[in-house]
Structure 1
Amino acid sequence: MPQQSIPTNDAPVYVVQLTDSHLFADAQGTLLGMNTRDSLQRVIDRVREEQPRIDVLLATGDLSQDGSEESYTCFRELTATLQAPARWLAGNHDEPLPMEKAAQGTELLNPVLDIGNWRILLLNSAVPGSVPGGLDEGQLQLLEQSLKDAPERHHLICFHHQPVSINCAWMAPIGLRNAEALFAVLDGFPQVRALLWGHIHQEWDQQRHAVRLLASPSTCIQFEPGSEDFKVGEQAPGYRWLRLHTDGSIDTGVSRVRDFAFTVDYAGDGY
């Protein structure tokens, strides 16, 4: 069972990222033939086996596929078994009002979290009615203000849409449309250590100047890396773990469920 403890200034912050769970109100709901509730449970079981301590659980968008309050309530209940403080942000499939209702009375949607020597900031890149993302002026101002207010803290900045090319031609038009505005802010602040996102349903780990660029597998279907056209990969569902060290360095990796068999149904409910 994960331990609940507040990191001291000389201890790392233990983070788990779950992303793109695409849950339905219906417990039998499937995405391209995969029951997304079952696959999320398998990933949570894997997290419980591998992570004895979790200081922060981050859910980086597309928690829901149908935008129902029931799907968010399900996500909250399933992840509560990890007994870790959690934060959510929205993806392009999420619906703000049902998400807010399911999070009512909690800190789940609070965008700023200070823990140890770190500040974790969650930005909303979802654009209503749009698959591509963007950071509006309010989100860019939140980002800049957060960085100005905490120059002594290392920053991990999270959102949903990819801000760089991931070498998947079909995904290029549906990423973060104003990434240049994001980087214009980030490049003025040396305490930025990493960006963390979802959306791409695959692992990504690159460096841009001194900033780590990270994305992670979905807890359900995977997208084939390097694909020109839409293609579901054979990789198993998974999650990302991170160790945020006091000096600003990061250890991170991806873990996937074992013994997972899945046959994609392109005739089923689509992405």
Structure 2
Amino acid sequence: MALPNVYATPDDSVLLLQLTDSHLFAEDDGTLLGMNTRESFEQVLALVHADGRQYDLMLATGDQSQDGTPESYQRFRQMTAGIRAPKRWIPGNHDESAVMQQLYGDHELLDSVTDVGNWRVTMLDSSVPGSVPGLLSNDQLRLLEDSLADEPDRHHLVCLHHHPISIACKWMEPIGLRNAEAFWALLDRFKQVRAVLWGHIHQDWDSQRGDVRLLASPSTCIQFAPRSEDFGLDRIAPGYRWLQLHPDGRIDTGVVRVPGFTFSENFGGSGY
């Protein structure tokens, strides 16, 4: 299978942008727990553009849409058109995979495997129609195994929507990746895996599992309170993550949040 190779040599460091959990609606004024998700996304994108970095690849790691409508995906694509980098999407639990396939099934947006510099990025679909928790199907696990086995000499970044580890947030424990053990059993066979990156948890996460960096990122809209027993929102600004992948396998990364972000009077809620 011929794979797209983003324009960088194996000797280059490459810069990636992760945008996640934008929860856009078909309507301009769609809100999630009192936050207009289009407006918050606009502010995050303005911050990306103001930073002035040239990205080699943009990753959208699920829940681009809240209502699963064609209009919401078209809105996401239009709003990110100004980011001059190849883009890759995966669905989250709020997305409609069938709609994404209908719109962009023949487009590189939904390519699962991309080589960039001395790295391979594999985008996995952990969504299950009608379900909040995630699961990697046998086909997705096979895709991951093939991607890793085919490039033993590259460093690998594996991306999915659902968290494959415990994040010490009790109410989110049941809605992560249901077959995380199978996922890790597979990854543990391949020593070239350098990092796993996900969305879904609407908060910054950075830890280590052996030699593998574990990363998750803020939503571009609402944020969940870390380490909470019950559902709770955090009054912290939306943002994005950047990742610099070096040819020797090192990773520099950081989270950037919208400065001076203001919350509406009706922001909040007791459930997601």
Give me the TM-score of the superposition, normalised by structure 1: 0.95
Mapped to 1, the partners of 2:28 and 2:120 lie a distance apart of 35
One-letter identity of the residue aligned with 1:92: N
Whether 2:89 is the aligned partner of 1:88: answer: yes
Residue number in structure 2 paired with 1:257: 258
Mapped to 1, the partners of 2:241 and 2:146 lie a distance apart of 28
Residue number in structure 2 paired with 1:125: 126
For the Cα contact (< 8 Å) 2:233–2:268, is it kept in 1?
no
How big is each residue's C-alpha offset from its partner over 1:205-228, in whole Å with a ceiling of 9 and x where there is no partner?
Answer: 000000000000000000011111
Q: CA deviation at 1:105?
A: 4.6
One-letter identity of the residue aligned with 1:131: V
One-letter identity of the residue aligned with 1:100: Q
Residue number in structure 1 paired with 2:145: 144
One-letter identity of the residue aligned with 1:139: Q
Whether 2:147 is the aligned partner of 1:167: answer: no
How big is each residue's C-alpha offset from its partner over 1:178-229, in whole Å with a ceiling of 9 and x where there is no partner?
Answer: 1000000000000000000000000000000000000000000000111111
Residue number in structure 2 paired with 1:65: 66
How big is each residue's C-alpha offset from its partner over 1:131-177, in whole Å with a ceiling of 9 and x where there is no partner?
Answer: 00011111111111111101011000000000111111000000001
One-letter identity of the residue aligned with 1:80: A
Structure 1 runs of 4+ with >6 Å offset: none
User: Does the C-alpha gap of structure 1 residues 121 and 267 become closer, same or farther in structure 2, counting only changes over 3 Å?
Assistant: closer
Residue number in structure 2 paired with 1:9: 10
Q: CA deviation at 1:84?
A: 1.3
Mapped to 2, the partners of 1:71 and 1:238 lie a distance apart of 20
Mapped to 2, the partners of 1:40 and 1:14 lie a distance apart of 21
Mapped to 2, the partners of 1:205 and 1:267 lie a distance apart of 27
Residue number in structure 2 paired with 1:179: 180
How big is each residue's C-alpha offset from its partner over 1:67-125, in whole Å with a ceiling of 9 and x where there is no partner?
Answer: 00000000000001112110000100000122123325520001000111000000000
Mapped to 1, the partners of 2:252 and 2:269 lie a distance apart of 40
103-112 vs 151-160, which moves further: 103-112
One-letter identity of the residue aligned with 2:245: L
Q: CA deviation at 1:10?
A: 1.6
Mapped to 2, the partners of 1:258 and 1:267 lie a distance apart of 23
Mapped to 2, the partners of 1:51 and 1:97 lie a distance apart of 35
For the Cα contact (< 8 Å) 2:12–2:247, is it kept in 1?
yes
Mapped to 2, the partners of 1:104 and 1:40 lie a distance apart of 24
SS in 1 for 2:134: coil
Mapped to 2, the partners of 1:121 and 1:57 lie a distance apart of 13
One-letter identity of the residue aligned with 1:192: V
User: Does the C-alpha gap of structure 1 residues 267 and 198 become closer, same or farther in structure 2, counting only changes over 3 Å?
Assistant: closer
Q: CA deviation at 1:56?
A: 0.3
For the Cα contact (< 8 Å) 2:44–2:258, is it kept in 1?
yes
Whether 2:72 is the aligned partner of 1:55: answer: no
One-letter identity of the residue aligned with 2:232: K
One-letter identity of the residue aligned with 1:16: L
Residue number in structure 2 paired with 1:44: 45
For the Cα contact (< 8 Å) 2:54–2:84, is it kept in 1?
no
41-50 vs 97-106, which moves further: 97-106
One-letter identity of the residue aligned with 2:113: V
- Please provide the CA RMSD for this pair: 1.4
Mapped to 2, the partners of 1:253 and 1:54 lie a distance apart of 14
SS in 2 for 1:229: coil
User: Does the C-alpha gap of structure 1 residues 186 and 119 become closer, same or farther in structure 2, counting only changes over 3 Å?
Assistant: same
Identity of aligned residues (%): 60
